[in-house]
Amino acid sequence: MIPARYGASRFPGKLMQDLGGKPVIVRTYEAAKNTQLFDEVYVVTDSDVIFNEIEINGGKAIMSIKAHESGSDRIAEAVENMDVDIVVNVQGDEPFTSKKGLQEVLEVFNGDDADKIDLASLMTEIEDWKEISDPNCVKVIIDQDNFALYFSRSPIPYPRDKNATVNYYKHKGIYAFRKEALMDFYRLPMQSLEAVEKIECLRYLEYGKKIKMAVTKTQGVEIDTPEDLVEANKMLKKEQKSTVNNKFKNFPMVPKVVFGSGCFDQLPDILAPQRQKNAPFIFLVDDVFKNDTSFIDRIKLRFNDKLIFISAEEEPKTSQVDQIVKEITSEFTKKPSGIIGIGGGTLMDIAKAVSIMLTNQGSAADYQGWDLVKNKAVYHVGIPTISGTGAEVSRTTVLSGPIRKLGINSDYTPFDQVVLDPQLTKGVPKNQWFYTGMDCFIHCVESLNGTFINAFSQSYGEKAYDLCKEIFVDQTVSDEESRAKLMMASWHGGMSIAYSQVGVAHAMSYGLSYVLGTKHGIGNCIVFNQLEEFYPKDVVLFKEMVKSHKIEIPKDVCANLTEKQMDKMIDIALSLVPLWENALGEKWESIMTRTKLKELYLKM
């Protein structure tokens, strides 16, 4: 049984944080299942989000009904009416739970003294005094037969005689109970030692039960803090590197694209062969076009087609995607023939996400991460009306969810068809043109200067970079040429990051956006403006462009942040491990510390 509380006090939402493309809790579930030591594995949770996540991934979950003080209470409620001998409690935040440790705990019930044992648990030797004196690390002392004498957050025993040899043990949160012991625990009220130390297993000792400890050498990683998460992501990466299959990405590209000034009018012909009987096309259109009747008339709705105006005022959200999907499914019994997104990066991402969520259960938030989408999306078409993000060509759709800002990155995300008509970008206001255009420029800079770069990415990145220079620096091309070129720069910039990654500006801009709602393009500019240290020549170039186009970059955006907001911003930025690795290499953490990030944010 894996008890899983959503709101852990020290690191809220930690079980749903991304660990190598899957939430921590799913990793833990899979690890427990893969040991093949158990007849059944369940997650017991108070949270719909966790429940759905486990079910979507083909696991078994139980909702606990009552509010519980501890994980043991939670699993006791779940097993009360189950016919079981031994129940093992695996911590939800131990994604690297190994077979060995679990086996050692279970083995205890095969020993000579098995009938004396109420429960078994695990410990590992520690030597570092920092860890021994850390109250987050629970120590345990044992008698000759390995029965626990006491658990404490204090260093036990106290080393009065510095020369006496003694081993220190850290308690690991894995328990195996006889069912009766677990049910006793559930019924018996908490006593004073447990209350003051906040250590569950003290309750057993306080009621005179026997806890036998097994020793393990496997350390594992518990996810207690955002730093632990970074550590865990690294461990996983190392494991994954050894499997050849992950070495080279095999990603899809947009299979059909039409380009040219005025090509938008070809849309009805493009869509016709995709139309299914009684199944509408749904047009998701940026509401900036709401009053532009001559443009809307060109869309040519047929039969039961539907047009929904959507505001790009805010960054797209998973809840917004869920809402649109609900609106569509409640109006139409047949699945749409297709979803057509018309607008900027915001509309591109919403269209991609809606097309995925029409064929996949649950909430869009369940699919934030890498390769979590199960079913092919409905046919979807992207028609950008502003250039720069590369969202029209990318394999992701970036969404703000309840706990993270992260893309739905999958083989089903890219559009089936893209219509590139430079005419459509004619009405874009100057500032916005610049901000979104700079997203492209920054994609190129981060990809070309990153450690992941290869010839594939470089060939696209260099082309897009040169086009950006032509448009924003040299300014020698006509407006019409410039629109066409920026559209292609966006495309190439998007392709460039397909095989590499973005870097410092994007990681930090995600933090701004999550905490302050800053929009992506402008957020990138605010950040990039202060990154001389990382991209010296390109930041100089950027500043020239800002000046020559008379753009005002907002200042002091972080000046009035509370400490909590600043911490969150830093957490979000640091959680984007692949971006940092690309930007600064494997040892990025020694360069980008929390202090350093804070300093940088305060400059913005």
Of the candidates 2, 324, 386, 498, which one interacts with ligand NAD according to CB under 6 A?
386
Distance in Å, CB of 580 to ligand NAD, minimum? 18
Residue 344 in the binding site for ligand NAD (CB under 6 A) = yes
Which structure tokens are listed for 180? Answer: 């009766």
Of the candidates 3, 345, 461, 503, which one interacts with ligand NAD according to CB under 6 A?
345
Tell me how far apart the alpha carbons of residues 408 and 317 are, in angstroms, rounded to a whole number.
12
Under 8 Å CB-to-CB from 442, ≥6 apart: which residues? 502, 505, 506, 524, 528
* Residues 443 and 494 sit within 8 Å (Cβ to Cβ): yes
* Binding region for ligand NAD (CB under 6 A) out of 44-52, 208-216, 339-347, 526-534: 339-347
Distance in Å, CB of 430 to ligand NAD, minimum? 11
Q: Which is nearer to ligand NAD, 386 or 448 (CB)?
A: 386
Of the candidates 17, 425, 449, 496, which one interacts with ligand NAD according to CB under 6 A?
425
Tell me how far apart the alpha carbons of residues 489 and 460 are, in angstroms, rounded to a whole number.
9
Binding site partner of 305, from ligand NAD, Zn ion, none, Cβ cut-off 5-8 A by kind: none
Of the candidates 53, 349, 421, 538, which one interacts with ligand NAD according to CB under 6 A?
349
Q: Which is nearer to Zn ion, 194 or 439 (CB)?
A: 439
Cβ of 327: how many Cβ atoms within 10 Å? 14
Q: Which is nearer to ligand NAD, 186 or 452 (CB)?
A: 452
Of the candidates 53, 194, 421, 439, which one interacts with Zn ion according to CB under 5 A?
439
* Residues 407 and 461 sit within 8 Å (Cβ to Cβ): no
SS (H, E, C) 120-137: EEEEEEECCHHHHCCCCC
Q: Which is nearer to Zn ion, 175 or 535 (CB)?
A: 535
Using CB under 6 A as the criterion, what x/- string covers residues 283-312 for binding ligand NAD?
Answer: ---x-x-----------------------x
Binding site partner of 377, from ligand NAD, Zn ion, none, Cβ cut-off 5-8 A by kind: none
Binding site partner of 427, from ligand NAD, Zn ion, none, Cβ cut-off 5-8 A by kind: ligand NAD
Distance in Å, CB of 464 to ligand NAD, minimum? 13
Q: How many residues does the chain have?
A: 604
Tell me how far apart the alpha carbons of residues 469 and 463 are, in angstroms, rounded to a whole number.
10
Q: Give the dihedral sign, CA 288/290/294/297.
A: positive
* Binding region for ligand NAD (CB under 6 A) out of 9-17, 345-353, 479-487, 561-569: 345-353
Binding residues among 356-385 for ligand NAD as defined by CB under 6 A: 385
Q: Which is nearer to Zn ion, 118 or 439 (CB)?
A: 439
Residue 200 in the binding site for ligand NAD (CB under 6 A) = no
Distance in Å, CB of 321 to ligand NAD, minimum? 12
Residue 315 in the binding site for Zn ion (CB under 5 A) = no
Which structure tokens are listed for 454? Answer: 């290869």
Tell me how far apart the alpha carbons of residues 590 and 429 are, in angstroms, rounded to a whole number.
41
Best CA proximity match to 375, nearest among 361, 396, 391: 361
**First-last CA distance in the chain:** 47
Residue 414 in the binding site for ligand NAD (CB under 6 A) = no
Which structure tokens are listed for 532? Answer: 């001389």
Distance in Å, CB of 442 to Zn ion, minimum? 7
Binding residues among 499-528 for ligand NAD as defined by CB under 6 A: 519-521
Distance in Å, CB of 101 to ligand NAD, minimum? 40
Cβ of 527: how many Cβ atoms within 10 Å? 27
Q: Which is nearer to Zn ion, 45 or 436 (CB)?
A: 436
* Residues 78 and 44 sit within 8 Å (Cβ to Cβ): yes
Of the candidates 396, 409, 482, 575, which one interacts with ligand NAD according to CB under 6 A?
396
Q: Give the dihedral sign, CA 75/184/193/124.
A: negative
Best CA proximity match to 353, nearest among 316, 390, 315: 316
Q: Which is nearer to Zn ion, 366 or 439 (CB)?
A: 439
SS (H, E, C) 512-561: HHHHHCCCHHHHHHHHHCCCCCCCHHHHHHHHHHHHHCCCCCCCCCCCCC
Q: What are phi and psi of 24, to 5 degrees?
A: -50, -45
Binding site partner of 425, from Zn ion, ligand NAD, none, Cβ cut-off 5-8 A by kind: ligand NAD
Residue 436 in the binding site for ligand NAD (CB under 6 A) = yes
* Binding region for Zn ion (CB under 5 A) out of 48-56, 64-72, 101-109, 431-439: 431-439
* Residues 281 and 275 sit within 8 Å (Cβ to Cβ): yes
Tokens 């700079």 belong to residue: 438
* Residues 341 and 377 sit within 8 Å (Cβ to Cβ): no
Using CB under 6 A as the criterion, what x/- string covers residues 90-109 for binding ligand NAD?
Answer: --------------------
Which structure tokens are listed for 239? Answer: 């494991």
Binding residues among 53-72 for Zn ion as defined by CB under 5 A: none
Q: Which is nearer to ligand NAD, 1 or 424 (CB)?
A: 424
Of the candidates 35, 89, 91, 432, which one interacts with ligand NAD according to CB under 6 A?
432
3-class secondary-structure state, position 383: strand
Of the candidates 46, 305, 439, 446, which one interacts with ligand NAD according to CB under 6 A?
439
DSSP string of 447-510?
HHTSTT--HHHHHHHHHHHHHHIIIIII--S-HHHHHHHHHHHHHHHHHHHHSS---HHHHHHH
Of the candidates 316, 338, 414, 523, which one interacts with ligand NAD according to CB under 6 A?
316
* Longest alpha-carbon distance in the chain: 88
Which residues would be at the binding site for ligand NAD (CB under 6 A)?
Answer: 286, 288, 312, 315-316, 343-347, 349, 385-386, 388-391, 394, 396-398, 424-425, 427-428, 432, 436, 439, 519-521
Contacting residues toward Zn ion, per CB under 5 A: 439
